[in-house]
């Protein structure tokens, strides 16, 4: 398997885009965890998107759970997925499991501002 290319800029080819995302190291995969901000937050911080973080309140925009909202329980950086409280799928045996959602399919409605560093990042222009 080829290693991650730091010199790669972009390509129209889907295969190359998939390879870039699949082989990216964790510090770059973190950039794939951005989600859209709600209109009120967008105007307040003058930003379109922000990285999803544990404790944020989000609303699902796409998929079988469209319209549901809840707090982010866990963020899987390695697989670029978000797990939201109250959003679960049922297995054949009746047990419930957490349902992974892509961060591009959610909208942040309330930010978790416990961390001072995050407050500074949002206030930057």
Predicted confidence (pLDDT) per residue in 38-92, tens digit: 999 999 999 999 999 999 999 999 999 999 999 999 999 999 999 999 999 999 9
Mean pLDDT of the chain: 92
Give the C-alpha separation, 89 to 94, whole Å: 10
pLDDT at 15 (0 to 100):
93
Partners of 5 in the beta sheet? none
Q: Write the CATH number of the domain with boundaries 35-123.
A: 2.30.30.30
Residues with Cβ within 8 Å of residue 87, at least 6 apart in sequence: 60, 65, 68, 70, 98, 99, 101
**What ranges do the domains of the chain cover?**
35-123
Give the C-alpha separation, 28 to 8, whole Å: 13
Q: Do residues 75 and 82 lie in contact, with contact meaning Cβ atoms separated by under 8 Å? A: yes
């Amino acid at each position: 398997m080829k290693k991650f290319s730091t010199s790669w800029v972009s390509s129209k080819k889907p295969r190359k885009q998939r390879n870039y995302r699949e082989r990216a190291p964790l510090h770059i995969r973190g950039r794939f965890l951005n989600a859209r901000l709600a209109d009120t937050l967008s105007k307040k911080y003058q930003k379109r998107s922000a990285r999803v973080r544990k404790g944020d309140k989000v609303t699902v925009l796409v998929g079988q759970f469209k319209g549901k909202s809840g707090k982010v329980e866990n963020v899987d950086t390695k697989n670029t997925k978000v797990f939201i409280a109250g959003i679960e799928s049922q297995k054949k045996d009746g047990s419930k499991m957490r349902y992974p959602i892509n961060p591009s399919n959610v909208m942040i409605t309330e930010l978790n501002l416990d961390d001072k560093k995050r407050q500074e990042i949002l206030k930057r222009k």
